[in-house]
Structure 1
Amino acid sequence: MDFSQATWRKSSLSQGTTDNCVEVALASGFVVVRDSKDPGGPKLVFSSADWAAFLGRVKAGDFDTRP
């Protein structure tokens, strides 16, 4: 898949111009994730349903590592 025209977004918590982030884009009905330090590198591609399920679990705290 070609993601060259995708609009990539960083979290608003990324502190400005740092390249130590994960970026997300919507492309061709999928959610695509990449490392901002390596924009031409590998990308993870998720269906919209899988991404929504992941975000739901994040919001529920399922991945929190704090005691």
Structure 2
Amino acid sequence: MISHGELDRVTWRKSTRSEAGSSCVSVAVIRGFAAIRDSKDRGRRTVILGVPAFRELVQAIKDGDHDM
């Protein structure tokens, strides 16, 4: 499992297309997993996915499967 301490030390990335005040997530890759968190509320729960599952999620988002 990934500890909170490890998540505090990773490099989080956010899309260069995100705008101030918009709904964005930050992503970090750590030991074969993708960690995903709310960029504005970092105290909320972090979602951890295996890299293959993360890639599937990204493709589904690109395909419009999760449009709101």
Quickly name the TM-score band, shorter chain normalised. Answer: 0.7 to 0.9
SS in structure 1 at match of 2:26: strand
Matches for 1:17-36 after TM superposition, within 5 Å = 18=21, 20-36=23-39
More helix by share: 2
Give the TM-score normalised by the residue count of structure 2. Answer: 0.73
From 17, 27, 33, give the equivalent of 1:13.
Answer: 17
Matches for 1:1-67 after TM superposition, within 5 Å = 1=3, 2-15=6-19, 18=21, 20-65=23-68
Aligned residues: CA RMSD: 2.0
SS in structure 2 at match of 1:39: coil
Between the aligned partners of 2:67 and 2:39, the Cα distance in structure 1 is 23
Decide whether the 8 Å contact of 1:23 with 1:33 is kept in 2: yes
The structure 1 segments of at least 4 consecutive aligned residues displaced by more than 6 Å after TM superposition are none
Q: Give ranges in structure 1 of 5+ residues lacking alignment.
A: none
The structure number with the bigger radius of gyration is 1
**Count of equivalent residues:** 64
Decide whether the 8 Å contact of 1:9 with 1:24 is kept in 2: yes
